[in-house]
Every structure is written in structure tokens, then in C-alpha cells.
Amino acid sequence: MAGSAAARRGREECEPVSGILTITLNPAVDLSTSVERVVAGLKLYCGAPRVDPGGGGVNAARAIRKLGGDVTALVAAGGAMGEWLLRLLAAEDVPVRAVSAGGETRQSFAVTDETTGEQFRFSVPGETMDGADSARLLSAVASAAPEDGYVILSGGITSGLDDDFPQQIMEALAPRTHKLVVDTSKAALSHLLASPAKPLHVLRLDQREAEQSAGQPLASVEDSLAFAQDLIARGAARIVVGGRGAEGSILATQGQRFFCRAPQVEVCSKIGAGDAFTGALTLALARGEPLDQALRWGVAAAAATVGSEGTALFGSGQVQALLPICAVQAV
């Protein structure tokens, strides 16, 4: 019986997933806690920690699942921390395709100063990957790619992988789908913008990433939209989404431009807000929602997450409650 179960599991892991596939190359076990005051040199007595599965694609998958979507999280996981990560995802009923890569999965943590409300976020690097890890990941992506479905690559690109790894993922997906949504940073993002081989379906940048890529401040919504359409003209993506912090987000295509103003909520933690945005936006697109409505879903999910404690995402009904006050307009 055990052999039959293993064989069945092996066959399933070689089959395309249904619904949306998320990819997380550098996941983490996220801990969050608080302390009365952060002071250097003293032993600080923190509150009970909250533990959640983390990393860009992992959080996007958690958001999609909370919104009732069909999703599978492909994660590079290893060691005891990787096993913990997989148990945390199972506890949230998120289906997983685990790929053994990169050694021990990392841990990240955040501490909120209860006196000032400031949050201190610490992210440690994952272990360096090698060529064998890269090959296993690309093979797993090719096997799991949904037929004409959406795929989200969110989070950092692990040390040791090529800067053009997002393009390699696009090539691995190509026989089945072109609907790749990318939210990444640093050298991988720079390579995507400087040397686009084929346009991504959707590219998301936050305000800081967009300004660094533009080489200048993007002070207004119009500035962000103009930069987004410049990226589209350069062949970086068909759809570009840009976060503008508490102000809201923009979305642009070659012929359409939208801005969605974010609702005002009490800020508890910004952890996972951008990932929740990406997950909700992608789910809305997968369900056939028009672009402006997909943008509203993303903004509502991000706002609901900002209002949640620590590494938690939004709670049941919070996104739907915020949707009516997420004002979207064509610009």
C-alpha cells in the first residue's frame, strides 16, 4: 500500500496543477512578536511569537486560498525549517509541490515596538543554490505548469541562481502557458527590465523598486503610469502594476491606465501586503474580472493585510468589506 501511495504521489507531482501555481524560491518561516520598547544593550522580553509560512509566492498562495481560489504553492524547501514550513502550509490547507533545493530553509522575524508602533523587520539570506538545484526547480515548474493558467513568481531570487532565472522560468512554462506574473527585486528585476527577452504577462513593482528602476522619483500617479507604459513599450510586460504605498496602486497596459485609491486603515503590519495584493489581483484575473476590478481586489487585499497583526494575512470577510471603498478610476 505504501508503495502504491508513493507511486500515485509521484505521478501527481509530474502532472499539471489545477488553478493558479505560485513559485517561491526563497521561502521562510516567519516569526513576529512585540516588546514594550526596543532598546539596545538590554535583554528584551517579548510577547508570545506568531509563526506563519512566508516568502512572496507562499503569501500569495495563502491569500488566494483565503479568497476561495484554487492554488498550489511550489516551494524550494529543505532541512528541519523546511519541514516546519510545509507543516504550516498544510495547517492553512494550501496544496504544495515541494522541491528539495537550497539546503536549510531560512527564518525571518519581525518585532513591533509597542511604545512607538514601529516595526523592525529582519530578513536573513537563504542558502546558496547550485546548478543541480536550478535544474530541479525548472523541471518541477515545467511539470506543474497549469494549462493556460496563471503562474506567480514572487519574492527574491536565491543566491546562486542566474539573474535571468525568471526568464528561464518563462521558457519552462512556455509549452503550457504564457500567463506569468512576476514580483521580484534586486538583480533579477534589473535584468528583466534591461534585457527583456519576451514580455511578462504581469509585472508588479512597489514604489521604491519603480523609482530605483526609473532612476528618479515618481512623485505623482501620472509619473508612475508614464513609467509603467514606458516599460510596456520596452517589451518588459503586457501589464504593469505599481504600488504607491498608502496612496494606492496603478495598473497600465499599452492602451489602458487605472489608479485605485487605497482605503484608510490602521497600520498594524506591512508584512505580506504586497504578496496579498499580487495573489488577489491574479485570482481576479483568473476568474475573468476586468483589469480595473482586478486592481480593486488587489488594493483591498493589501489594505486588509496592513490592518492585520504581525505576519498574519487578512481575516475572513475583510477584503470583501473593503472592496466598496476602493475607488478605481481610468486616468
The arithmetic mean of pLDDT across residues 141-159, rounded, is: 97
What is 17-330's CATH superfamily? Answer: Ribokinase (3.40.1190.20)
248-252/257-261 β-pairing: antiparallel
Q: What is the mean pLDDT of residues 28-34?
A: 96
Whether residue 257 contacts residue 240, with contact meaning beta carbons closer than 8 Å, is answered with no
148 labelled catalytic: no
pLDDT at 84 over 80: yes
Domain positions in the chain are 17-330
Degrees, nearest 5: CA angle 54-59-60: 155
- Residues 96 and 238: their CA atoms lie apart, in Å, by 29
* Confidence grade of residue 8 (pLDDT, cut at 50, 70, 90): very low
- pLDDT, one tens digit per residue, over 271-329 is 999 999 999 999 999 999 999 999 999 999 999 999 998 888 998 899 999 999 999 99
Q: What confidence tier does 102 reach under pLDDT thresholds 50, 70, 90?
A: confident
Catalytic residue among 133, 162, 275, 292: 275
Rounded to an integer, the average pLDDT of 111-126 is 93
pLDDT at 167 over 70: yes
Give the pLDDT confidence score for residue 13 in this predicted structure: 67
Residue range 123-147: average pLDDT? 95
- pTM summary value: 0.94
What is the bridge-based pairing of β-strands 179-183 and 150-154? parallel
Q: Terminal CA-to-CA distance of the chain, rounded, Å?
A: 61
- Residue 4: the pLDDT is 42
Average pLDDT over residues 262-272: 92
The cell 466598496 sits on which residue?
324
